[in-house]
Every structure is written in structure tokens, then in C-alpha cells.
Structure 1
Amino acid sequence: MLFEHQVPFRPDWEAVLTPVLDTLVSRTDVDGEALVGYGISQGGYWITRALAFEHRLRAAVADPGVVDVSASWTAALPEPLLDLLHAGRREHFDALLRAHADPARVRTLAFRSKPYASDNLFDLLNEVRRYQVRDVVGRITTPLLVLDPADEQFFPGQPRELFDLLPGEKQIMGFTEELGANWHCQPTGRRLTHTAMLDYLADHLPYPTA
């Protein structure tokens, strides 16, 4: 969708997931009572957001748990730029950025901005700030497994924050260097991740899996 059809990201992922589930449950070869979900990387945000509005999944996994996507974008911004962003002062923000920006970082941000359909950093950051679940997480009723890898680079601390915010059935699972499964999405521990994820989802299916 992104690369072939130029359809950008959107924060309200229920608008994507619900039509998919509508299609699935209409099929005779799909058990509509045994649907589960998995979101990896920034998908940890999207699956969580969608679950606040879409309640037909038996269980889901967020790998990792994500509360606020914008935190990884704004963490490196100096305080004067943050102040201008929060105050909505676009012209002053752009002027200060042009005066002090690192060209290499600007190129990186320009590349990362493409999925958000924005070519201006001020607009981009305001768009990305919409990607947070604090306002809706209390609506989630689906059992959710939150994966929490040590040394998480992009969303540090957010898996635990999400787990604490979740109101219903939930579980958090840590992954460590000792297990060979630290860092974002456990890149060297995918077999361990898949085993834990599939076991959790299977435990919530409406029929025996043995």
C-alpha cells in the first residue's frame, strides 16, 4: 500500500482493521470466533489503537508495547524547538531549524517522513503526535500480551507504560540479552518470540489446540 500505491500511514488503525475483519468473518473458511492479532515494531501502536474500537479478536500481541510514537521523534529535539512546536509557532520553528539543523539529520528525517505524507518537519511532528493511545487505551477489552525487550531503542519504557495503562486481561513478557533476545523486536530471538506469541494466542482460542 505504501510503496506501490502511495497510501500513507494513518493513526486510526481501526479504520483499517475493521474492514479486514468484516471480510474475514464473511468467509466460510474462516472461524470468526477464533481471530487473533499481532503488531510488530510500530505495529505495536497500531494493534493497540485498533483494539480500543475493534473487539472481535480473541487475543493480541504488541511487539513491543507502544504508547506514543512521537516520543522517538521528539526525544532528540532541543528544548527551544520543542517549545515552539508545542506553542504552534511554525514559522519560528522552521527558521530555528534552518539555522541550526544538521544536514545529515535533516535528510534522515525527510526519508522517515515519507510514510506520513508530510515534507515539513513541523507538520510531520504534529501529525506523529496523533499516534498515541493514552486517550483510548481504557476502552480495550481484548486480552493483550505486551512484549518488553531489554535495550529497546525506539520506545524505551513504553511497554511497561502500556501494560500499566491496560484495564483488562493483560500480560507482559520481558526479553533479555541473556536470552539472546534484547533490542527492538528481538532480532536475534525471533524463534523465542514466535513461541511465546503463538502459545499466548493459542491459549485464548475457543477450542483445544493440543
Structure 2
Amino acid sequence: MTNSQAANSSVNSVPFGAFEYFPDNLEWSTQMLRLFSYCYVRGADFSEVHSVAKALPVGDDAAWQAGFSKLAHSIEADARESAAGGHDITARDAFLRATIYHRISGQLADISGASEVAPGLEDSVRCFLEAARRMKPAFVPVEVPFQGASLPGYLCVPDVADGTQLPAVIDFGGIDAWAEEQYFKIGAALAERGYAVLLLNGPGQGAAKMRGIYGSYDFEVAAAAAVDYLEGLVEVDANRIGLIGSSLGGYFAARAAAFEPRLRATVIWGAMNGIDPRVFDEKAASGRRGSRIRQLERFLGVEGREALIEHARKFQLGPDVMGNVSAPVLVMHGESDALVPVSDARAVYDDIKHPDKALKLYPAGTPGCAHCQLDALAIAQRDICDWLDDQLKP
């Protein structure tokens, strides 16, 4: 039995609520939603994705990897041909799709070891760099000083008149996030609306993890480093800095909102009230659940049940944390989230005592009901960007 098949023997009891490309496989359907959602932002093409997915033996993770890796290399070759012919916009768009196809090809790989990297990710970064240098405005690789080292990411500063200062937004993803993918989820939408955008690999994420900078419960330290960096840019208005965190990044964003007072607005995109130590019971070693636990080990840079439990006890929010929030917060959550129950969103929202708070729930069966609105990126971008406009633009 493959990892994905095993996952379906213990599927979350919450109805999926969104389009199921593979009705008998929650994990595969979730990843297909991810791909179809990126069609909205030129990160994928429906026909290209369907041409691969329709021929896959459902639940065969190795076939998934091979199929989407082949597609990624084919689209990357098209991009290089266009670039060689001087067709930079065509090349940019193809490199963007190759970025996502390389990324998704290794999404279901069950890898082990703290330093291991999922197949396709380094190819994905390479393709994004090719696309980024053809963008206007460009997303430029940057290093944010952090605890004697630095966190890698990308900065985009839209063109402005001399002396004009822009509102800025820091964006982090979740446990398996790479800053490159955040461009598609929200980065490009923010830049188009005139924000300076910092897409960052936080501790335990992407290239930061590859450098040995592992995740920790006190994410506000990384958020503070990001704010410090933005405050040093002459183009940025230090009094109009916001932050977005999605998936496990929703927990990060909550910590940042509670302990980084320089943030003027925070979006918790998929709330998470903490990590329940009980998930690391003796039956958790196999199947997709076991794969996610090994993913958490890589994120934290630890191995073993006892070490995970020790960390999990620190990954908790509650009123003692959220009672410190001092600026507006938007909490967003899908009622059919198969990874984190909607009760977490309600608990996080209720624990915030600041009067300027909003809770946006997406009912089951409607666009946005899946985890972090994977099924409706257009809806998520609308709700996030309009709310940030109201908070950060004069």
C-alpha cells in the first residue's frame, strides 16, 4: 500500500467540501486543487496538469513524481527555447509554470533525514530565479540578517516617485513552504497593488532549513528580523508594515501579531492554535501521518517522539499569547479544512482581545472551504488584499 492509500484509511472526518479530482484520495485531490488554483496566477495550465493526472495510477506516489517531473522539464525546455529567441515574457511565463510543476512533483515524496530535500525543489528554485529576473517589477533575491546568519527570500519594490514611501507586507508560508511558491499565493497580487513585498524563508523553511536554520515556536524573532530589514529601506513606510502567514504560517502570524508591536496589520491565513502532543502516539509511524511527522522532524531539526513532544508543548497559543495582540488581525479559515479544524480559528479569534479583529469563515461546499483556500485563490487574494488596503493604505 502506498503512502497516499494509507492516508485514506484515516481521512479527517470533516467533509472535503471542494472539488475532488480523485474522489477516493484526499491527499492527491488536495494537491490537484493546489495546481488548479495556480492556473489563476499563471503558475499552471489546466490542460497540462490534466494531461498528466488523468493517466496516473491513483495512489502511486512514484508515478506522480515521475509524471509531473517530466512535465516540469518539458515546460522548462520550452522556456529556455523562448528565452534563446529573445521572447522574455513567454519565457517568464513558462519558467513560472515549470517552477510549480517541479515543486509539486516532489510534494508526495516520503523523504527522511533532517537535511533531505524533496525531489524537484532545487529545480523549482532555479526556474523561479529565471522567471523573477524577467519580471517588472522584479522579485530580487535578498538576505535578511537573523541571529548571526541570514534568512533568504525575495524583495519586490514597485516603482515609485522619489521620496514616496510604500506600505510593505511580509509573507511566510507553512511547514513545507518555500518563498518561491509564496509569489503565486499572494506575492504577485500584493506587488500589483503597490505594496513592497518581502517573501521570506523563515526558520525551518526552504533554503533557510537547508542552511541548518530550523523552526521554533517563537516565530516572532524571525518576524522582528523581517521588520528590522524593511525599516532599513528608504522606500518603505515603517509605520505601515503588515504580515501574512499561511498554513503553519498561520500559527507564526499569530505569534508575530502578539509579540511584534511594530506590525500594523496581520493576516492569519489558516489558523492553528498549536500542536497537540498526542499526535505523536505509537501508531503514528506509518502512512501519510508518519510522513507528516517526519516532515515536522525536518522542520524542527530533531528526531524521535520525545523530542517532538517537547517542542509541541511550546507550540501553543491561547489567551496568554493572543491577549498581547496590539493591532488589527484578520483570521481566515475554511470549514472543510482537512488538516486543521475550524475550531482552531474560532479559538484563536476569541482569544484576541484587540477590538479590531475579523473572522472570515468559508462554509463547506463554497469557494474557499478547503485548507488555506487552496480551492479558491482568487477569493483568498480578494479578501486578504482588500482588508490590507483598508488597514495599511491612507
In which range does the TM-score fall when normalised by the shorter chain?
A: 0.7 to 0.9
CA contact (8 A) 1:35 1:56 kept: yes
Q: For 1:164, give the aligned amino acid.
A: D
| Structure 2 counterpart of 1:139 | 324
Q: For this pair of structures, how many residues does the alignment match? A: 184
Distance in 2 separating the partners of 1:101 and 1:67 = 21
| Structure 2 counterpart of 1:74 | 278
CA contact (8 A) 1:8 1:115 kept: yes
| Structure 1 counterpart of 2:361 | 174
Q: Per-residue CA shift, 1:51-94, capped at 9, x if unaligned? A: 211111221110112211x13x63474xxxxxxxxxxxxxxxxx
2:217 pairs with 11, 15, 18, which one? 11
CA contact (8 A) 1:179 1:189 kept: no
Matched, 1:127 2:329: no
Distance in 2 separating the partners of 1:15 and 1:28 = 23
Higher Cα Rg, which structure: 2
| Structure 1 counterpart of 2:157 | none
1:32 pairs with 238, 242, 250, which one? 238
Q: Structure 1 pair 102/16, CA: closer, same or farther in 2 (3 Å)?
A: closer
Structure 2 residues without counterparts, runs of 5 or longer: 1-206
Distance in 2 separating the partners of 1:191 and 1:39 = 17
Q: For 1:133, give the aligned amino acid.
A: L
1:118 pairs with 288, 291, 302, which one? 302
| Structure 1 counterpart of 2:380 | 193
Q: Structure 1 pair 101/17, CA: closer, same or farther in 2 (3 Å)?
A: closer
Q: For 2:224, give the aligned amino acid.
A: T
Name which structure has the greater RCO, CA cutoff 8 Å, separation 6+: 1
Distance in 1 separating the partners of 2:321 and 2:370 = 27
Distance in 1 separating the partners of 2:243 and 2:286 = 40
Q: For 1:74, give the aligned amino acid.
A: R
Distance in 2 separating the partners of 1:128 and 1:41 = 16
Deviation of 1:183 (Å): 1.6
SS of the aligned residue for 2:239 comes to: coil
SS of the aligned residue for 2:382 comes to: helix
Q: Per-residue CA shift, 1:73-132, capped at 9, x if unaligned? A: 63474xxxxxxxxxxxxxxxxxxx4xx665445455234311111111121122122111
CA contact (8 A) 1:45 1:65 kept: yes
| Structure 2 counterpart of 1:41 | 247
Structure 1 residues without counterparts, runs of 5 or longer: 78-96
Distance in 2 separating the partners of 1:128 and 1:39 = 19
CA contact (8 A) 2:280 2:308 kept: no
Q: Structure 1 pair 184/103, CA: closer, same or farther in 2 (3 Å)?
A: closer
- State the identity %: 23
Distance in 1 separating the partners of 2:291 and 2:348 = 31
Matched, 1:152 2:358: no
Q: Per-residue CA shift, 1:31-64, capped at 9, x if unaligned? A: 1111111010001000111221111122111011
SS of the aligned residue for 1:10 comes to: coil
CA contact (8 A) 1:2 1:115 kept: no
After TM superposition, the score normalised by the length of structure 1 is: 0.80
2:228 pairs with 22, 32, 36, which one? 22
Q: CA RMSD in A?
A: 2.0
SS of the aligned residue for 1:147 comes to: strand
CA contact (8 A) 2:242 2:264 kept: yes
| Structure 1 counterpart of 2:180 | none
